[in-house]
Amino acid sequence: MRRTAFFLSDGTGITAETLGNSLLTQFEGVQIERVTIPYVDNPDKAELAVARINTAAERDGAPPLVFDTIVKQDIRNKIMASRAVFFDVFDTFLKPLEQQLGISSSYTSGKCHSINEFSTYHRRIESVNFALDNDDGGRQQDYGKADIILIGVSRCGKTPTCLYMALQFGIRAANYPLTQEDLDRPGLPDILLRHRHKLYGLTIDPFQLASIRHERRNNSRYASLDQCEWEVDEVERRFREFGITSINTTHFSIEEIATRIMDDVGLVRGVA
């Protein structure tokens, strides 16, 4: 079965896309082509969107699924004339909320993903810059400002997790790779011991690690299974020795890893 899903908005489309994708992942065995059309904010753009929807309906032999967060009623009326099944995010949730809160919604597009509060936006950007500056053991003098320091072997997911926590939650996350030189010595580097309470470990299945490293340095000692197994064993032994909470990243997405870390540590989101 093939269906097309459209995510329409007079803003970025991120809200419709996020909610729609979350719902669609619950249905297996259906081939779904996803199409996002942002900034449908005038009649001409609405007509173009309708044409794309109707073309997909003709091709698939079934009405497309349309998830929309369009606010302007005249634009919505044009879209509603297309050959589709509609899932209106705003109507589904805003009406009950208005009843419960006893006030009317502002029905303003793009508020969730615009710069409504400069301080919040600044915190997010500052956190991303912090994660970039403190990647792979950089700027160790800034560890005192970190909310968390991720440690683990090279290529176990530290960098993308730090960047995700920074951009999504405003967390100042640093990361430090435990290298061959570090693992040849007992214990942990002094800089990490000075910030022991901020450490969180990432580990990974050695076979997965070898596969990832082969993409970076094919047929090298760095990517060999023996080396990967030794490094993972050594790192996990140190996690146990120093009582460092850790997570195995092998079967988790970056989003899941970041959320589990924040829940384990009790980190407070810097941004909503």
Residue at 14 is within a domain = yes
Residues 229 and 128 in one domain: yes
Count how many Cα atoms sit within 13 Å of the Cα of residue 93 in the half-sphere of its side chain.
10
State residue 120's pLDDT score: 73
Which domain range does residue 124 map to?
116-265
CATH number of the domain bearing residue 18: 3.40.50
Residues 97 and 120 in one domain: no
Query: How far is it, in rounded angstroms, from Cα 195 to Cα 193?
Result: 5
Residue pLDDT, tens place only, 201-218: 999 999 999 999 999 899
Tokens at 36, concatenated? 């996002």
State residue 98's pLDDT score: 82
Does the annotation place 156 within a ligand binding site?
yes
Residue at 108 is within a domain = no
Residue at 272 is within a domain = no
Does the annotation place 155 within a ligand binding site?
yes
Does the annotation place 170 within a ligand binding site?
no
**Do 200 and 245 contact (CB within 8 A), yes or no?**
yes
Residue at 27 is within a domain = yes
Q: Which residues contact residue 7 at a Cβ distance below 8 angstroms, ignoring those fewer than 6 apart?
A: 13, 16, 17, 20, 34, 35, 36, 37, 67, 68
Residues 35 and 165 in one domain: no
Residues 89 and 168 in one domain: no
**Do 75 and 40 contact (CB within 8 A), yes or no?**
yes
The whole-model pTM stands at 0.74
- What region, left, alpha or beta, does residue 60 occupy, with left being phi > 0 and alpha being psi -120 to 50 degrees? alpha
Does the annotation place 269 within a ligand binding site?
no
Q: How many domains does the chain have?
A: 2
Last residue of a domain, one of 70, 101, 132: 101
Mean pLDDT by 10 residues, the chain (272 residues): 92 89 89 95 96 96 95 92 91 81 71 57 87 92 96 96 93 96 96 97 97 92 96 98 97 94 89 62
Residues 76 and 137 in one domain: no
State residue 88's pLDDT score: 84
Residues 138 and 55 in one domain: no
Last residue of a domain, one of 57, 75, 101: 101
Residues 191 and 97 in one domain: no
Query: How far is it, in rounded angstroms, from Cα 120 to Cα 271?
Result: 6
Last residue of a domain, one of 66, 101, 136: 101
Count how many Cα atoms sit within 13 Å of the Cα of residue 105 in the half-sphere of its side chain.
16
**Do 206 and 164 contact (CB within 8 A), yes or no?**
no
Residues 93 and 163 in one domain: no
Does the annotation place 154 within a ligand binding site?
yes
Tokens at 212, concatenated? 């990832």
Residues 60 and 167 in one domain: no
Residues 69 and 197 in one domain: no
Strand partners, 33: 4
Tokens 């700027």 sit on residue? 139
Query: How far is it, in rounded angstroms, from Cα 44 to Cα 48?
Result: 6
Residue at 43 is within a domain = yes
Using CA atoms, how far residue 57 sits from 54, 77, 79, 149, 198, in Å, is 5, 18, 14, 50, 53
State residue 102's pLDDT score: 86
Residues 126 and 260 in one domain: yes
**Do 15 and 69 contact (CB within 8 A), yes or no?**
yes
Residue at 180 is within a domain = yes
Strand partners, 87: 67
Residues 188 and 222 in one domain: yes
Residue at 107 is within a domain = no
Q: Please state the three-class secondary structure of 146-170 as a single string.
A: CCEEEEECCCCCHHHHHHHHHHHHC
Tokens at 202, concatenated? 């990432």
Tokens 């009843």 sit on residue? 99
Query: How far is it, in rounded angstroms, from Cα 253 to Cα 235?
Result: 21
Phi and psi, residue 149, nearest 5°: -125, 115
* Residue 10: DSSP 8-state: S
Residue at 176 is within a domain = yes
